[in-house]
Amino acid sequence: MARKFNFSAGPAMLPTEVMERAQAEMLDWNGSGMSVMEMSHRGKEYMSIAAKAEQDLRDVMSIPDNYKVLFLQGGASLQFAMIPLNLLGDKTSADYINTGMWSKKAIAEAKRYCTVNLAGDTSEGGFTSVPTQDELKLNPDAAYVHYTPNETIGGVEFDYIPETGDVPLIADMSSTILSRPIDVSKFAMIYAGAQKNIGPAGLCIVIIRDDLLGKASAQTPAMLNYQTHADNDSMYNTPPTYSWYMAGLVFEWIKKQGGLAAMAEVNQRKSDKLYAAIDASDFYANPVPKANRSWMNVPFTLKDASLDADFLAGATQAGLITLKGHRSVGGMRASIYNAMPEEGVDALVAFMKAFESNQA
């Protein structure tokens, strides 16, 4: 059966080459006679897989030596609690920038542990933009500043990295990590759920500067303490071994494509094509200003919402699946992460033009 172009926001499609490699190694990894799923996480075979995956990620992202890379469970959502538990220290407040659904969830969890200052909030505008640097109301005494560079639901992306002075900057990069080069040193911590640009669900990657470790409150459970995982190379307990392995295959694949600069070139080209098709028509619309449009998640509406079901049915028949928009936004959403080939976007654009013509 032919594979379809899967535009899901996550879990998202994986590179075909990665899937084929995993298939070939399913029953016997590297002559070990074992599947990766069967290996002891403390055995030499799996330890080599884990170490290579971390090193490849460090290479791909140019992660400085004074940052730990942690492979954790619980997805990005568990980080909403781990961050205040670990990073408040003797502070009582933290700054959060509210630009969408995932920001809101992080804020709601943080309020269990500290006073949250909304340094920026675009809820009144329906989360269709981000605040500018000048609009941010930052507290110099905050423990940290948290933001979501890319909001998957609204398709809204920061076009700059907030300047926060001496206050640590924390970024939820779940839907934008590995899509382009970034300067890791501008962040105190980056975290990302795996199921968009990294690999299958079940894994969260945390990249954290060394000086942020060891500040957890006394009530923090061992499993929620970054220091615990840093001291044990992310193996305090059994990690999500297969997801970690799959992430490692993705990091290898990115290297083969030419690294993050090459990924950025393709990703920008894909998003430019799709937005151009939307903007060239009065049949489709996107509410986000061009400066804040996401490369990864492109929501769009049809001029007549009563045609949504027909559009989705026709797209599915054409091999273009999971295009239905989030219920809070409606319409369509095309998530075009790294693994979405350019021909997938070309096929979507062609279908959109054909569908519009058929309505004339």
Strands (E), 159-202: 169-172, 189-193
First to last CA, the chain: 34
SS3 110: helix
The enclosing H or E element of 49 equals: helix 44-61
Question: Measured between alpha carbons, how far is 170 from 164 in angstroms, rounded to an integer?
Answer: 10
Specify the pairing of strand 145-147 against strand 93-98.
parallel
Query: What is the token pair recorded at 157?
Result: 């992306």
Catalytic machinery residues: 102, 172, 196
The enclosing H or E element of 351 equals: helix 342-359
Q: Please give the angle made by the CA atoms of 28, 30 and 33, to the nearest 5 degrees.
A: 35
CB distance 144 to 168 below 8 Å: yes
Cα atoms in the Cβ-side hemisphere of radius 13 Å centred on 39: 28
